[in-house]
Amino acid sequence: MDSNKKMLSQTLTGGNGIVISLIILAIFLVVAAVAVPSVFQPSNIGNILRVYSPAGIMALGLMLVLLTGEIDISVGGIMSFSIMLSTKVFNQSEPLAIVLLLLVGLGCGFLNGIIITKFKAPSLMVTLGTMSMYLGLAYIVSRAQGFFFTDQHPIVNTLAKGNVGGIPVSFIIYLVLIAICWFMTARTRFGRDIYYTGANKRAAFMSGINIDKVKVIVYMICGVCAALAGPLITAQIGRANPDVGSGYEVTAIAIAVLGGTSLDGGRGSVPGVLCGMVTMAFLMNMLALAGLGTYVEMSIKGVLIIAVVSVYSFVNRRTGVIRDA
């Protein structure tokens, strides 16, 4: 059993995902400094951190799922459903609404995890189904009507739009979650179990790890993160719509992958996700401020993401972390 774990550890420590993430981030920052210096204005940095922190929180939960070798594309649906259900009580009690929202996220994640582990169903297909289900529920509970966040909702407005010492509150929340997740993955047995589960399921099982339990828990964490992102996004724009989460799963996956998380499982790091979020935020912002026009920007974004992922793939193959099938 010990030899199995040793072998897994060697595989895991062979990578340098965080170093690559930092290199890529540095490249983007250098390019931005040369081509679009306005990116570095303090007000702009505050804006992009505020706007992208919710997606970063979502990516953080998703990264844990990816580490186990699974995927969750229902995060956008969870976000929509949880925020629309909680709007039913936002006018009565904000704290209660936030608790409800987190419980809904937890429950949705639990359901995902249970179906995937008990039915041994592929997570891609299961969460594709639950994505549609949660989005449908968001429409049903809201009767397809949006909800306005106004001055009557000071807590959520502060969380989404407030600043402490010039730093967006939503980014501070993100950093706190990063710290918690980093501690969990790097300093606890459960964290190690997550990596082992994704790196080699069979070996993990042989090592006595309850892989089903690990997976259910990470799906629950992922659900909570997705739910938490909801109010942070919607309060910024003043309105929660039932389709608010649509498309965020792609952004979250992109952030996780930009941060060095492998879609094959067992590889990735919490600081890497932070790098991924900052990289994505600067990339998008840099393209926008360059004044290229919406559709040119869209195309270049795609090219750059492909380029970055190719760099990861290239490096991982060269260092032997990913072997040809």
Contacts of 193 (CB under 8 A, 6+ apart): 204, 209, 211, 214
Q: Which parts of 212-241 interact with another protein (CB under 8 A)?
A: 233, 236-239, 241
User: How far is it, in rounded angstroms, from Cα 81 to Cα 173?
Assistant: 21
Q: What does the block give as tokens for 155? A: 């807590």
Q: Does 321 interact with another protein (rule: CB under 8 A)?
A: no
Q: Tell me which of 110, 139, 190, 205 binds another protein, using CB under 8 A.
A: 139
User: How far is it, in rounded angstroms, from Cα 215 to Cα 58?
Assistant: 17
Q: Tell me which of 36, 111, 156, 211 binds another protein, using CB under 8 A.
A: 36
User: How far is it, in rounded angstroms, from Cα 211 to Cα 189?
Assistant: 13
Tell me the chain's radius of gyration from C-alpha atoms.
20
Piece in contact with another protein (CB under 8 A), picked from 69-77, 106-114, 203-211, 313-321: 313-321
Burial 236-255 (b: 16+ CB within 10 A, else e): beeebbbebbbebbebbbbb
HSE-up (13 A, CA, CB side) for residue 304: 22
What long-range pairs does 6-11 form, CB within 8 A, spacing at least 24?
A: 7/203, 8/195, 8/196, 8/199, 8/200, 8/203, 8/204, 8/266, 11/199, 11/200, 11/266, 11/321
Q: Does 164 interact with another protein (rule: CB under 8 A)?
A: no
Q: Tell me which of 13, 166, 295, 325 binds another protein, using CB under 8 A.
A: 295
Piece in contact with another protein (CB under 8 A), picked from 45-53, 56-64, 103-111, 188-196: 45-53
Q: Does 93 interact with another protein (rule: CB under 8 A)?
A: no
Q: Does 323 interact with another protein (rule: CB under 8 A)?
A: no
The site string for another protein over 249-288 (x = CB under 8 A, - otherwise) reads: -----------------------------------xxxxx
Q: Does 312 interact with another protein (rule: CB under 8 A)?
A: no
Q: Tell me which of 42, 119, 294, 323 binds another protein, using CB under 8 A.
A: 294
Please choose, from the candidates 223, 183, 204, the residue with its C-alpha nearest in 3D space to the C-alpha of residue 212. Answer: 204
* For the chain, counts of helices (H) and of strands (E): 14, 4
Q: Does 13 interact with another protein (rule: CB under 8 A)?
A: no
Q: Tell me which of 243, 271, 305, 309 binds another protein, using CB under 8 A.
A: 243
Q: Which residues bind another protein (CB under 8 A)?
A: 23, 27-28, 30-31, 34-36, 38, 41, 43-44, 47, 50-51, 91, 139, 143-148, 150, 152, 161, 233, 236-239, 241-244, 247, 284-296, 300, 303-304, 307-308, 311, 314-315, 318-319
